[in-house]
Amino acid sequence: MSKFSEFGNSLYNGDRSFNFTGKRKLWFAISAVVIAISAILPFTLHNGFNFGIEFKGGSEFTITGGASKGVDLARQTLSTSLPGKEVVVSTIGTDTVRVQTPQLSDTNSEAVRLALAKSYAVDSSAVSSSFIGASWGSDVTGKALNGLLWFLALAAILMALYFRTIKMSIAAMAALLHDLLITAGIYGSFGFEVTPAAVIGFLTILGYSLYDTVVVFDKIRENTEGVEHSATATFSERVNLAINQTLVRSINTTVVAILPVAAILFIGAIVFGAGTLRDISLSLFIGMLVGTYSTIFIAAPLYSQLREKEAKFVEAAQKVLAKRD
């Protein structure tokens, strides 16, 4: 039937094989370059990460008696007086409009206040301004980091117990770090504001990436069981076969998982011009691609590298290679 199925068959029986573990230096070099670029780009293009008002606090304006004119008027006003800044607009009670913006200087703040009063045709005294603190303050971040560290430690222990080797945990964690750095870097180089939704997107990616790694690692575990007794294959060849045998699964899963996210990103954000959806779907889109890439090109080859130097595998590999010659 389809070529793709034949492709799967040939990968499974080894007619076709991509050398993932052998060319690991190339993959590691590519990733190192990408990480370096994604660490630099946000700073060269956009002056670093642009955290939203949820993280930094900001300025708040309330327009008493403005609710009847709707919230879009405020968005339009702000798009001319504060171009390119994310604003949050909502109505409070029955007659008040609330506008939250990034922290403004006193002169800017006064200008915005007067512009809002003019748009809503109310007296300038009906528009009040004040500062607001961060809703995602340092205590939330602190607890999130603490939770994250605990989770990574526990996940590493769980994987070490299940796979009977700490080296799988190390490889998986290295891949996670790789994903996080690249995803954050690429996100930052778009210059989009870092919102709580985007951070939740990053966390989702961490979960997804680890999940993807575990699925492939389980196949590696299966293939490398008793490989030190094999007369026909070395450890790294078995790892490489496992990656090849799960390649169709990796491609299918990534396509299925990324289609809805891509739909939101491209249709939702470009056609409908959605704001928050754009942030979160962008972080998910990058993260899923990077997460799948890192499992195949970083986590598995790194695991192979960490273990193939073990005496029993070196010995077995020498026998296998000697036999081949």
Restricting to residues 71-110, which ones interact with other proteins according to CB under 8 A? 71, 88-94, 96, 98
253 binds other proteins (CB under 8 A): yes
Q: DSSP of 52-107, one letter per residue? A: -HHHH-EEEEEEET-GGG-SHHHHHHHHHHSTT---EEEEETTTEEEEEEE---HH
| Longest CA span, the chain | 91
What's the DSSP call for residue 157?
H
Member of 45, 121, 158, 314 binding other proteins (CB under 8 A) = 158
Sequence-distant (≥ 6) Cβ neighbours of residue 264 within 8 angstroms: 274, 277, 281
Q: How far is the CB of 256 from other proteins (least distance, A)?
A: 4
Member of 47, 125, 256, 311 binding other proteins (CB under 8 A) = 256
Member of 204, 228, 308, 310 binding other proteins (CB under 8 A) = 204
Member of 44, 103, 124, 135 binding other proteins (CB under 8 A) = 135
Member of 31, 246, 294, 295 binding other proteins (CB under 8 A) = 246
Q: For helices 196-224 and 166-189, give the axis angle rounded to 10 degrees.
A: 150
Smaller CB distance to other proteins: residue 41 or 49? 49
132 binds other proteins (CB under 8 A): yes
Q: How far is the CB of 264 from other proteins (least distance, A)?
A: 4
Member of 74, 78, 115, 214 binding other proteins (CB under 8 A) = 214
For 238, phi then psi, to 5°, come to: -65, -40
Sequence-distant (≥ 6) Cβ neighbours of residue 22 within 8 angstroms: 236, 240
219 binds other proteins (CB under 8 A): yes
Q: DSSP of 116-130, one letter per residue? A: HHHHTT--GGGEEEE
C-alpha distances in Å from residue 192, one per residue of 52, 198, 272 = 9, 10, 17
Smaller CB distance to other proteins: residue 28 or 41? 28
Smaller CB distance to other proteins: residue 47 or 229? 229
- Name residues contacting other proteins, limited to 16-75 (CB under 8 A): 17, 19, 22-23, 57, 60, 71
Member of 31, 201, 290, 300 binding other proteins (CB under 8 A) = 201
